[in-house]
Every structure is written in structure tokens, then in C-alpha cells.
Amino acid sequence: MTFNPPLRGNSIAEIDSHGNFASHSLAATMSPAALNLRRIHEQSTTTRLAKDVAKPADGTAARSSKGKPRLVLMGQRRSGKSSISSVVFHKLPPNETLFLESTARIQKDSMASFMDFQVWDFPGQIDVFENPDFDMDAIFDEVGALIWVIDAQDDYLEAVTRLNTTILALQGHYPNINIEVFIHKVDGLSDDYKLDIQRDITIRIQDELSDNGFENAPVTFHLTSIYNHSIFEAFSRVIQKLIPRLGTLESMLTNLCRTCRFEKAYLFDVLSKIYIATDSATADMASYEICSDYIDVIIDITEVYGTWQRSDESTRLLEGEPYNAPLEDQIGCSTAESCLVLHDSNRPIMLREVDRYLALVAIMKDDSYDRMPLVNMNVEAVVDGLTEFFNITKPRK
């Protein structure tokens, strides 16, 4: 986060990067009783954070979270972890993240999507590996990816040191966890400086891992910012690694692009605007931004004019005079379908709803209108295939 509001209560005490209360200038003037109270408060705070990991809100939450892949957000304080989670998964406008409070407790969010998963946001002032009160299995047993956020506009040496310690600890006990490094807040940096920072961080981490015998640790680096689409692109890469048989989805979209002469096709999670699959053609940020913004337009129109869910009274009116037919017979397509032409480049964009969570968005070529019946038939076949794919690969409860 770029803004750190003052702590509530006694503002003269601060929390350092290791989770300890620090006010060295006042220690000499405080009485022994006050110092003892501060020590007790520090211990209780750390213990409460540790209990937050293993204890869900209730028994139902414990049962519902079992088996869900988990994304864990870690990093230094004020690196932007909570801002990332709020923008991507809660649709908070980036400018409003300035008013987010600093994370004081572990935040657990369950995401109902095409693939139910959890997002855990850890406060930057705690180190789970240095505190014996934390249950490592409760935290990392079902983790699919550890996302470590580094503030590119700040001194990142301490963050890299903590990240190296974390990776080494995980490689010994949880080697299958993907390590995703978000080099964050790069929107105000030049392209050359971004690459220099990424190169420096990459070398520091890889050298440390090589010295400890982990040359092939699953570590990936991303340049991100909440003020453009790079953060959604990075999360798309993270989520794709957790999808079983991703190659099947990519093959279906590649065949669709070849048959229908599409320039690019994406399979989007509508709520988060993360694309979970795309065709084999080289992805570029411009095409992703166009498709992502188009989804925003469709969502905004849906919020204004309503959804496909109709009340019983509305259904009776539509099935009465002058139609006199069941509603199912009056609707040609029960799912959302849309098409938009970009006048500057004369390239239509096609959106086709797959289910309540997913949408297929494709950038077509200017001659696609001459083949629309064939395009619609092929898109319908791919949607049926995608539906069958997710029914087969969906975890059984």
C-alpha cells in the first residue's frame, strides 16, 4: 500500500518489520511496569495472529475451505499486498486503495469462481517461520502459490533477504508450491529501470538458491501495478498453473482461432477479469486490455438493465398475451452473447457466456462477418466442450 494511516490507540508505539513493538526513544523514560505491559501486549498480539491461521470463523468455514487451492500473499509492510487483493478480487478502484488501513491480522477470503480458491493476506510485520506458534501445515499444506510482493520504489534488499529465507524453508518441506514474485509499483518507472530492477532481484534470489543447492526452484517474476492491467496479467499466469490439464483448454481455443480466423481468444473469469486460458498465439497487453474493458462494459450494462434471472410474475407476463408460448421456446440462446466493432481498426470483438463465471472473448478479423453462421456454430461447439471439460475436472465434494 502507498498510504499507511496511524495505528489506533497509543500512537507512540510502532511495529517494526519483524513484528516487534519499537519505541526505543521512549524506553528510557518508561517505568518497569509500563515496559512489562508492552511486552505482554506484544506476546498476545503475536499469539493471536498465529491462532488466526489455524482457526477459521466456524465449523462450516473449516469444512468449506477444505480442498480449496490457496493463494498466500506475503511481503514487507506497505508493499501493496492488500491493495492488490482489493483491486483484483473485490473490484476496488485503484485510486481508493490509498484509504485502505494497514493489515493488522491475517485476511482470509474465499473466492467463488470457476475454481473455488482462497486468498490469504499476511501482515508484513510477522514472520511465520520464526514464530513456533504458527502451524506450518495449516498454512502451507493446501497452498498452490505463494505470492511475494516487493515494492520496486523502495529499498528491496531486506525484502529479498526475507524472500530467500522463505523459499529455502518451503523447498525443504513444501517443494511443490509455486513461488510468484510480484515486483510491484512499477507504473512510475521507466522501462529500462524496470528491467534493471527485475534483473537485480532475479540474480540475488537465484544466486542464493544456487548456493544452497536449489537451482530449479519454481520461482517466477512479474512486473506489476494496480494502475494498469499488468496485475491482472500476472494473476492470470499464477492461476493458470493451478488449472489441471490447461493444455486441453489452450488446444480448444487454438483450434477455434484457426477455424474461425480469430486473431486472439481468451477464456475469462468474469468477476476478477483474470483469463484462465488463451490460444497459442503470442499474447500482447493491448488485446488483453481491449477484451478486459469489453467485459466491464457488458457488466455495467447488465447492472443497469438486469440479468437473465426473471421473477415468476415477469415470466407469466412474457408467456401470456400476445406471445402465448413458454419462455424457453421464445429465447433463441439462454446465455449472453454480444458483438462489438472497433471502428479504428475494424475488428469485431465477440463475447460468449460459458457459464455464470466464465466468458469466451475473441478478437475477430474484418472479414469475419461473411462467415458468421460458421463462426457461431464453432463457438457453440467450443462452449459445449468447455462446459464438459469443467464438469469432468471439477473436484468432487
301 shares its domain with 160 = no
Whether 374 maps to a domain, the answer reads yes
200 dihedral zone (left: phi>0; alpha: psi -120 to 50; beta): alpha
82 shares its domain with 229 = yes
Write down the pLDDT at residue 182: 97
Residues of the chain with pLDDT under 50: 1-28, 54-64
- For the stretch 73-92, pLDDT in tens is 999 998 999 999 999 998 89
261 shares its domain with 179 = no
Q: Which amino acid is at 243?
A: I
Write down the pLDDT at residue 356: 83
145 shares its domain with 271 = no
- For the stretch 197-239, pLDDT in tens is 999 999 999 999 999 988 888 999 999 999 999 999 999 999 9
Write down the pLDDT at residue 308: 57
Whether 7 maps to a domain, the answer reads no
Q: In this structure, what CATH number is given to the domain that contains residue 72? A: 3.40.50.300
The CA angle 323-328-332, to the nearest 5 degrees, is 90
267 shares its domain with 339 = yes
- Distance of alpha carbon 371 from its chain centroid, rounded? 37
What does the block give as the cell for 310? 426473471
Whether 14 maps to a domain, the answer reads no
Write down the pLDDT at residue 122: 92
The range of the structural domain enclosing residue 311 comes to: 246-393
The CA angle 5-179-245, to the nearest 5 degrees, is 125
Termini Cα distance of the chain: 37
Write down the pLDDT at residue 372: 84
Q: What is the CA radius of gyration of the chain?
A: 25
Whether 30 maps to a domain, the answer reads no
Write down the pLDDT at residue 393: 79
Write down the pLDDT at residue 30: 56
The two beta strands, 117-121 and 70-75, are: parallel
CB 179 within 8 A of CB 71: no
Residues 6 or more apart whose CB falls under 8 angstroms from that of 148 comprise 74, 75, 159, 163, 166, 179, 180, 181, 182
Write down the pLDDT at residue 327: 63
Q: What backbone torsions phi and psi does residue 278 show, to the nearest 5 degrees?
A: -150, 170
Write down the pLDDT at residue 136: 86
**How many domains does the structure of the chain reveal?**
2
Three-state DSSP at 391 gives helix
Last residue of a domain, one of 173, 207, 240: 240
Write down the pLDDT at residue 31: 58
The beta-carbon contacts of 366-373 under 8 Å, at least 24 apart in sequence, are 367/261, 368/260, 368/261, 368/262, 371/260, 371/261
Last residue of a domain, one of 194, 223, 240: 240
176 shares its domain with 71 = yes
Share of the chain above pLDDT 70, in %: 75
d(CA 336, CA 385): 17
Query: Taking the model in full, what pTM does it have?
Result: 0.76
Write down the pLDDT at residue 42: 55
Last residue of a domain, one of 240, 264, 288: 240
138 shares its domain with 75 = yes
Whether 38 maps to a domain, the answer reads no
366 shares its domain with 282 = yes
Whether 11 maps to a domain, the answer reads no
60 shares its domain with 202 = yes
The two beta strands, 70-75 and 143-151, are: parallel
261 dihedral zone (left: phi>0; alpha: psi -120 to 50; beta): left
Whether 124 maps to a domain, the answer reads yes
252 shares its domain with 222 = no
Whether 310 maps to a domain, the answer reads yes
102 shares its domain with 200 = yes
Instruction: Tell me whether the omega of the peptide bond preceding residue 5 falls within 30 degrees of 0, making it cis.
Output: no
Write down the pLDDT at residue 307: 57
CB 222 within 8 A of CB 239: no
183 shares its domain with 123 = yes
